[in-house]
Structure 1
Amino acid sequence: MTQPPTEAVRPPAPADRRVSPARIAVVQCDAQVGLGNREDNVARGLALAARAADDGATLIVLPELCATGYTFATREEAYAHAEEVPSGGTVRAWEVFARERGVHLVAGLVEREGVRLYDTAVLVGPDGYVGHYRKTHLWNIEKLWFAPGDRGFPVFETPIGRIGLLICWDIWFPEVPRLLALQGADIICSVNNWVWTPPPIFDESGRCMAAYLTMTAAHVNNVVIAAANRIGTDRDARFLGCSLIAGTNGWPIGEVAGPDEERILTADIDVVASRGAPIWNQLNDLVRDRRTDLYDTMLGYTLSPAFPR
């Protein structure tokens, strides 16, 4: 007697072992300089953030200076676009959005403190303003308008996890993501206005050098980095997209965005995965293997506010 065919037995699906699940979104968009554009810049950024929130995002990252545009002609023009943090109207609008949607939001603007201007990234959450970071490494003519950041590299405790911030040119300085990681950052939010530089701009895969630097920083620090860049042109500057979310192993989670497209990239991650698996093998560990006895004093890490004597 012929036996009926036996169905293939499939192994059970692996259990979701994430201990702190979150959905991160990076928003790639355009923003234009000009006081007449500020309201539209903020509204467009929040409209895209709302789409990300509708898709379940709990942490949303917008580009550098997304509220104001980037290419100022004079310091006076930059000053006219500036506002105080956190009391300014733009931060208040971001706070309202974060509170209503129950998300954390990172976005960039021009901060004014007294007569000084800063290129600043702001973090807000469901309970309001969390903190801000002032860009430390200024690119090109930014040095004519902005003062360099003067408060080190803060990491903010949130219900999601520990969040560090960096801005654009900062990623070319490996000390920045390293200092954030050493302070326990679970995720680094990178807000950017990566511009076109002398060619070659992209490799055969369509990725730019900034994307590879982001991937490398995530890999060597075992930390998630969510990098949001802008697109389009702003006066004489052209921007190259390539937004991405790099996992703790350095590789992009999903796509790297193209150079010209308005995009929202999302990734489901365990925000604190790096806390539970810092050792790569039985004999190597990124933090343990550092030879601080040889190079910390030379690099000045021991003089950082994060590592007081």
Structure 2
Amino acid sequence: MGMIRIGAVSAHFGRSLDHAVQRIAALVGQARGSGVGLLVLPDAALGGYLADLRHPDPAALPPALDPDGGHIRHVAALARDMVVCVGYCEADGERRYNSAVCVTGDGVLGRHRKVHQPAGESVVYAAGERFTAFDTPVGRLGMLIDYDKTFPESARRLALDGAEILACLSAWPASITNRAPRMTHDRQSRLFDLYDRARAAENQVVLVSSNQTGAIGGMRFLGQAKVVGPGGEILARTWSKAGIAVAEIDPAAEIANARRVLSHLKERKPTAYGSGS
């Protein structure tokens, strides 16, 4: 593929689908003007996230969308030749999933349902069951949603499936139980950055981390969108503000260079880890 520009979005999205589509259109247009080939929007960009993670109100949930419906098709049409990842609440009969979809103007390239669920999320969402990478015009890609990236096995499974780029879509809040006066001192703020850099470095892949900003209900989101190289180095970031972190990188070349002497995936010892690992 060679050099590409990658954008990680930090932005606020609420319940209004009309406003969400307008904001996505503006962000895609801004990214296109910067030459971005891959744009990763936050989790729950279409319809917003839960307003209370510990005791979610069943009467105030994000709208559940058809995974092949008009809103997903609209985002694909906006993407055109760009690869765009976006999060939404997926309707599947009586079930809801916290989901992400990766699209271009040609349609859907890949899907992911969030596997790992924090606190009360399992009250309103069913859990996904797998991590699968897929081919895109910018390279082989895998997606993680929020809490998925807390677990090393999630990113490792995608890397073993050939993912060169990990798109991590989040609606990641500041600490709910122990809020700090400044966002930079918040425990969840430190962990969010730590997980991003660790998942990239331990798998020697490019990681693109998006996140929501602002607040909904009692949830205050961190922002901190970023692009991380295969050595764990942050190539671009938004800090806590809204915006797009843009980095230019040749993923295949940078990954090959990172793995030239020490190749973590090849040097694994699965038989030493036991069946419970």
| Residue 93 of structure 1: aligned partner | 74
| Residue 183 of structure 1: aligned partner | 161
Matched, 1:42 2:42: no
Matched, 1:241 2:217: no
Native 8 Å contact 1:27 1:49 kept in 2:
no
| Residue 5 of structure 2: aligned partner | 23
* Residues 274 and 221 of structure 1: CA distance in aligned 2, closer, same or farther (over 3 Å): farther
* Residues 40 and 266 of structure 1: CA distance in aligned 2, closer, same or farther (over 3 Å): same
Higher relative contact order (CA 8 A, sep 6+): 2
* Residues 290 and 48 of structure 1: CA distance in aligned 2, closer, same or farther (over 3 Å): same
Alignment of structure 1 residues 1-309 onto 2, 5 Å: 20-33=2-15, 37-72=16-51, 73-78=56-61, 81-85=63-67, 87-99=68-80, 102-150=81-129, 152-197=130-175, 198-199=178-179, 202-203=184-185, 208-254=190-236, 256-259=237-240, 261-273=241-253, 276-277=256-257, 279-281=259-261, 284-295=262-273, 297-299=275-277
Native 8 Å contact 1:186 1:274 kept in 2:
no
Tell me the C-alpha RMSD between the 2 structures: 2.0
- Identity within the alignment, %: 29
Could you list the per-position Cα deviations for residues 42-72 of structure 1 after superposition, in whole angstroms to 9, with x for gaps in the alignment? Answer: 2112211210111100100100001111125
Larger radius of gyration: 1
Distance 1:95 1:243 in 2: 22
* Residues 222 and 195 of structure 1: CA distance in aligned 2, closer, same or farther (over 3 Å): same
Could you list the per-position Cα deviations for residues 161-191 of structure 1 after superposition, in whole angstroms to 9, with x for gaps in the alignment? Answer: 1010000111110101111111110100000
Native 8 Å contact 1:62 1:108 kept in 2:
yes
Native 8 Å contact 1:119 1:134 kept in 2:
yes
Could you list the per-position Cα deviations for residues 188-217 of structure 1 after superposition, in whole angstroms to 9, with x for gaps in the alignment? Answer: 00000110112555359x963211210011
- In structure 1, runs of 5+ residues without a counterpart are 1-18, 300-309
What amino acid is the match of 2:110? G
Distance 1:24 1:278 in 2: 19
- In structure 2, runs of 5+ residues without a counterpart are none
Shift of 1:83: 1.2
* SS of residue paired to 1:120: strand
Distance 2:150 2:205 in 1: 16
Distance 2:23 2:47 in 1: 12
What amino acid is the match of 1:266? V
Native 8 Å contact 1:29 1:45 kept in 2:
no
Count of aligned positions: 268
Q: Give the TM-score, by structure 2 length.
A: 0.91
Native 8 Å contact 1:278 1:286 kept in 2:
no
What amino acid is the match of 1:103? M
Shift of 1:297: 2.2
* SS of residue paired to 2:5: strand
Distance 2:107 2:267 in 1: 39
Shift of 1:135: 0.3
Native 8 Å contact 2:228 2:235 kept in 1:
yes
Runs of 4+ in 1 over 6 A off after TM superposition: none
* SS of residue paired to 2:275: helix
Distance 1:144 1:46 in 2: 32
Shift of 1:273: 2.6
Distance 1:88 1:249 in 2: 39
Distance 1:289 1:225 in 2: 21
* Residues 178 and 83 of structure 1: CA distance in aligned 2, closer, same or farther (over 3 Å): same
Shift of 1:88: 1.5
* SS of residue paired to 2:238: coil
